[in-house]
């Protein structure tokens, strides 16, 4: 796949040269219809063009695509470019509390022989779990030059949600707040309304990689001890999810979120001036953001149109910018809001876990330790 930013700029330049040379009118072309779609480049002649027209006609007949996710914020803004391009296809989003909620529903619907979802957006660990559960299908992704991709066609990676430690500055003054990862594992936060989310079950894996040993050996011993110390020493409230607890952190009901919070949500609050401080840890892990096609999707043609748009026509950029996703594509990192903020304002480097470490064994180990530490049963 061409890097769409460079490709787009080149196409504009070439188009302008041709228009000047031919003295062609500069008025825009008519809006595309399902029968004569425009893909942003000259339509190929013959069967390929016919196949595209047939795909769009079938997608418009389906009329919708079901996008299931574990946190999909700013839906209207993220999806506006798609709805503008394909006004006959409605994207319906189920924003579940956890990835496991989505997986469990897909499994149950699969048993019943009628799946209503089409696409699964979540962290990479959830996609690996979904693959193990047998609810994902391969797709011919157009992402050959995207970095940090899995060795499978069952899903793709498009960004990272950094894990950022945060606290309320009205409860804990900035000069009295933690200064490192190690600070948060002490018992200093007892009585400061600490909170710990049992969502984000791959947390121990993220830290095992961040603190890896020479040779890229996961440091499970240090990561698991750290996870245990955070909870044992601070006795935090155990909650589900990240968005809800962060709202309560902003309101002052909680004082500090241990050991991590959802980075993109923390950045959103920080940008609007909420009483939130980010712990200056220097380096933080990130949860790789991924998506895949559900097995036997309810709306296969509309699903293909959406996935082709997301991977080939800049849809990923809409998601990255609106939801402060940390970009992994080297070209997009230059303009991604989250990358610029963390690098230039907070001096924090985000280190996503490479896909090769997202094995079923590693995700299972991380999940088991995380839930056991929180005292939560599966």
Summarised one tens digit per residue, pLDDT across range 118-129 is 999 999 989 999
Cα–Cα nearest to 297, from 116, 95, 50: 116
Render the burial of 338-377: b for 16+ CB within 10 Å, e for the rest: bbebbeeebebebbbbbbebbeeebbbbbbebbeebbeee
The pLDDT score that the predictor gives to residue 313 is: 63
**Tokens encoding 292:** 């895949």
The pLDDT score that the predictor gives to residue 378 is: 73
Q: Rounded to an integer, what distance in angstroms lies between the CA atom of residue 195 and that of residue 172?
A: 14
Exposure on the CB side of residue 137, measured as CA atoms within 13 A: 18
pLDDT in tens, 366-377: 999 999 999 998
**Tokens encoding 137:** 């299908």
The pLDDT score that the predictor gives to residue 32 is: 36
Q: Rounded to an integer, what distance in angstroms lies between the CA atom of residue 10 and that of residue 114?
A: 45
24-28, 126-130, 202-206: which range is least confident on average?
24-28
Domain locations in the chain? 161-287+348-374
Average pLDDT over residues 268-286: 95
Residue 38 pLDDT greater than 70, yes or no: no
pLDDT in tens, 172-191: 999 999 999 999 999 999 99
Looking at 34-155, which runs of residues are DSSP E strands? 64-70, 90-96, 119-123, 136-137
Average pLDDT over residues 214-241: 96
Instruction: State the Cα angle at 205 between 374 and 165, rounded to 5°.
Output: 65
Q: Measured between alpha carbons, how far is residue 235 from residues 86, 174, 176, 228, 326 in Å?
A: 50, 22, 19, 11, 31
Q: Measured between alpha carbons, how far is residue 187 from residues 82, 205, 250 in Å?
A: 49, 23, 22
The pLDDT score that the predictor gives to residue 42 is: 38
Average pLDDT over residues 312-331: 87
Residue 45 binned pLDDT confidence (cut-offs 50, 70, 90):
very low
The pLDDT score that the predictor gives to residue 377 is: 82
Average pLDDT over residues 67-77: 91
**Helices and strands counted in the chain (H then E):** 14, 12
Report the predicted TM-score, pTM, of the whole model to 2 decimal places: 0.78
Q: How far apart are the first and last CA of the chain?
A: 40
Q: Which CATH superfamily is domain 161-287+348-374 in?
A: Periplasmic binding protein-like II (3.40.190.10)
Residue 253 pLDDT greater than 90, yes or no: yes
Residue 135 pLDDT greater than 50, yes or no: yes
Question: What are the respective helix, strand and coil percentages of the chain, to the nearest 5?
Answer: 45, 20, 35
Name the average pLDDT for the chain. 87
Residue 211 CB contacts under 8 Å (≥ 6 apart), including other chains: 219, 222, 223
Average pLDDT over residues 192-214: 95
**Tokens encoding 17:** 């040269």
The pLDDT score that the predictor gives to residue 326 is: 95
Task: Name the 3-class secondary structure at 126.
Answer: helix
100 compared with 174, residue with greater pLDDT: 174
The pLDDT score that the predictor gives to residue 4 is: 39
The pLDDT score that the predictor gives to residue 241 is: 87
Residue with structure tokens 């047939």?
54
The pLDDT score that the predictor gives to residue 233 is: 97
CB 319 within 8 A of CB 67: no
Residue 149 CB contacts under 8 Å (≥ 6 apart), including other chains: 143, 156, 157, 355
The pLDDT score that the predictor gives to residue 169 is: 98
Q: Rounded to an integer, what distance in angstroms lies between the CA atom of residue 227 and that of residue 260?
A: 11
Average pLDDT over residues 275-297: 95
The pLDDT score that the predictor gives to residue 8 is: 37
């Amino acid at each position: 796949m061409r890097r769409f930013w460079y490709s787009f700029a080149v196409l504009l330049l070439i188009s302008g040269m041709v228009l000047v040379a031919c003295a062609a009118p500069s008025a825009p072309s008519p809006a595309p219809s399902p029968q004569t779609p425009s893909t942003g480049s000259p339509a190929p002649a013959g069967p390929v063009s016919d196949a595209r027209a047939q795909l769009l006609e079938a997608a418009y007949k389906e009329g919708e695509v079901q996008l299931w996710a574990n946190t999909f914020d700013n839906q209207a803004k993220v999806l506006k470019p798609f709805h503008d391009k394909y006004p006959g296809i409605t994207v319906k989003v189920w924003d579940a509390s956890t990835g496991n909620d989505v997986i469990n529903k897909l499994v149950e619907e699969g048993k019943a022989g009628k799946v209503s979802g089409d696409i699964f957006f979540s962290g990479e660990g959830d996609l690996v779990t979904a693959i193990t559960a047998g609810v994902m299908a391969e797709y011919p992704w157009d992402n050959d030059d995207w970095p940090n991709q899995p060795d499978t066609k069952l899903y793709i990676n498009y960004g990272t949600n950094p894990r950022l430690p945060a606290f309320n500055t009205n409860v804990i003054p900035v000069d009295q707040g933690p200064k490192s990862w190690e600070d948060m594992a002490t018992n200093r936060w007892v009585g400061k309304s600490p909170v710990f989310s049992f969502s984000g079950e791959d947390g121990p894996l993220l830290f095992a990689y961040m603190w890896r040993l020479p040779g890229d050996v996961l440091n499970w011993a240090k990561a698991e001890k750290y996870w245990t110390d955070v909870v044992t020493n601070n006795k935090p409230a155990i909650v589900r999810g990240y968005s809800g607890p962060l709202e309560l952190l902003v309101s002052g009901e909680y004082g500090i979120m241990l050991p991590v919070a959802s980075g993109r949500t923390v950045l959103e609050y920080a940008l609007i001036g909420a009483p939130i401080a980010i712990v200056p840890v220097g380096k933080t892990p990130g949860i790789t953001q991924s998506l895949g096609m559900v097995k036997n999707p309810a709306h296969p043609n509309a699903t293909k149109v959406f996935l082709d748009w997301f991977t080939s026509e800049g849809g990923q950029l809409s998601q990255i910018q609106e939801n402060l996703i940390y970009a992994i594509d080297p070209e997009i990192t230059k303009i991604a809001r989250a990358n610029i903020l963390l690098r230039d304002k907070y001096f924090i480097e985000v280190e996503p876990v490479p896909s090769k470490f997202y094995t079923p064994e590693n995700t299972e180990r991380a999940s088991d330790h995380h839930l056991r530490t929180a005292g939560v049963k599966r």
